[in-house]
């Protein structure tokens, strides 16, 4: 996916951040520079840095301070992706070969370790200990979420609650703290930082649900990989869980999941079963509820131009027209 380009007022600062991001992994070691830049230059929406800058707009906006949060947050996100690709045995991401495919699993593992460490070394320059605490706790939660994900591969008995807890750790938390830390680094009031956290958390939840939906409904061109990849990896997402709650479809879907697990079937028939029920629409509905909560938090923030942009992002994330 391409970088978000909708925010005229931030575009210049985002360009600066993009260069900072590249610079942050350069010069230590030729191979690490190459693998890290390959990863970073493959792109991404840069959602977390955008949220940091926007959070900063609710206080005293200072790009120099904000970049010390925006760059590490994008680095942490990128490091988690390079490790995820090892776990998922993924050969492409965003249409580019992954580090594990272009080099190997071991190099991908150390690339991730290096980028994590770099992220922390950058935030360590900030004087605010609260920021380290929030960031390192979020990293702990992320790794727990990732481990839950592999433990739950092909676990068709998992509940909606289980799924939500996992995506909270895996995705929503990092987006929530992006908004919050941007505000804190700009010395915004704690209440505003708290509302931004709520906004980010709910947008993050909606974003992951929508991403999981896209994996079932998107075309290969849209999502950069064949549809049903999650199921083939054993990653049981919300529409699957909802469909398994439907007595008329449960048996057939369980059969298909078993066949996929044993490598005897692709995801095609399973997707057909899911599309025949209400799993997709129920998941969409839940994503919408999260967006409503995000908008409610936003409402309590003072009116400014950024607030309008954050509303736009909320709509953009769920794919609603706006």
Q: Which residues bind its own copies (CB under 8 A)?
A: 28-29, 31-32, 83, 86-87, 105-107, 109-114, 116-118, 120-121, 123-127, 129, 132-133, 135-137, 139-140, 142-144, 146-148, 150-151
Cβ closest to its own copies, residue 86 vs residue 240: 86
Which CB contacts under 8 angstroms, 24+ apart, belong to 245-249? 246/277, 246/278, 246/279, 248/277, 249/273, 249/274, 249/276, 249/277
Cβ closest to its own copies, residue 112 vs residue 227: 112
Q: What is d(CA 314, CA 7) in angstroms, rounded to the nearest whole number?
A: 13
Cβ closest to its own copies, residue 162 vs residue 269: 162
Q: Which residues are CB-neighbours of 181 under 8 A, at least 6 positions away?
A: 52, 55, 69, 73, 131, 134, 135
Token pair, residue 313, equals 């992002």
Q: How far is the CB of 174 from its own copies (least distance, A)?
A: 12
Q: How far is the CB of 147 from its own copies (least distance, A)?
A: 5
Cβ closest to its own copies, residue 48 vs residue 118: 118
With residue 63 as reference, give the H or E element that holds it.
helix 63-88
Instruction: Give the SS3 label for residue 96.
Output: strand
Cβ closest to its own copies, residue 39 vs residue 50: 39
For residue 92, what are the β-bridge partners?
Answer: 97
Q: How far is the CB of 243 from its own copies (least distance, A)?
A: 27
Q: How far is the CB of 234 from its own copies (least distance, A)?
A: 12
Instruction: Give the SS3 label for residue 309.
Output: helix
Cβ closest to its own copies, residue 171 vs residue 202: 171
Q: How far is the CB of 298 from its own copies (least distance, A)?
A: 29
CB burial class (10 A; 0-12, 13-18, 19+) of residue 321? exposed
Q: How far is the CB of 117 from its own copies (least distance, A)?
A: 4
């Amino acid at each position: 996916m391409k970088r978000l380009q909708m925010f005229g007022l931030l575009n210049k600062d985002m360009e600066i951040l993009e260069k900072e991001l590249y610079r942050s992994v350069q010069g230590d070691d030729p191979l690490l520079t190459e693998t890290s830049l390959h990863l970073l230059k493959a792109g991404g929406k840069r959602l977390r840095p955008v949220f940091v800058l926007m959070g900063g707009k609710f206080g005293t906006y200072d790009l120099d301070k904000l970049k010390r949060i925006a760059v590490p947050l994008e680095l942490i996100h990128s490091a988690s992706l390079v490790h995820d690709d090892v776990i998922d045995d993924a050969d492409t991401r965003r249409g580019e070969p992954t580090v594990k495919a272009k080099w190997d699993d071991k190099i991908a593992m150390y690339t991730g370790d290096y980028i994590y460490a770099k992220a922390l070394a950058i935030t360590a320059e900030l004087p605010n200990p609260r920021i380290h605490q929030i960031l390192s706790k979020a990293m702990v939660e992320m790794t727990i979420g990732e481990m839950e994900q592999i433990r739950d591969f092909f676990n068709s008995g998992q509940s909606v609650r289980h799924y939500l807890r996992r995506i909270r750790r895996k995705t929503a938390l990092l987006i929530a703290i992006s908004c919050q830390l941007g505000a804190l680094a700009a010395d915004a009031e704690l209440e505003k930082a708290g509302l931004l956290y709520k906004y980010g958390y709910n947008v993050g939840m909606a974003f992951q649900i929508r991403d999981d939906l896209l994996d079932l409904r998107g075309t290969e061109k849209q999502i950069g990989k064949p549809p049903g990849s999650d199921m083939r990896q054993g990653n049981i997402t919300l529409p699957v869980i909802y469909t398994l709650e439907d007595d008329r479809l449960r048996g057939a879907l369980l059969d298909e999941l078993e066949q996929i697990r044993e490598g005897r079937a692709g995801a095609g028939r399973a997707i057909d079963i899911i599309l025949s029920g209400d799993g997709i629409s129920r998941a969409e509905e839940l994503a919408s509820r999260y967006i409503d909560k995000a908008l409610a938090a936003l409402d309590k923030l003072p009116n400014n131009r950024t607030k309008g942009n954050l509303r736009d992002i909320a709509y953009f994330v769920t794919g609603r027209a706006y």
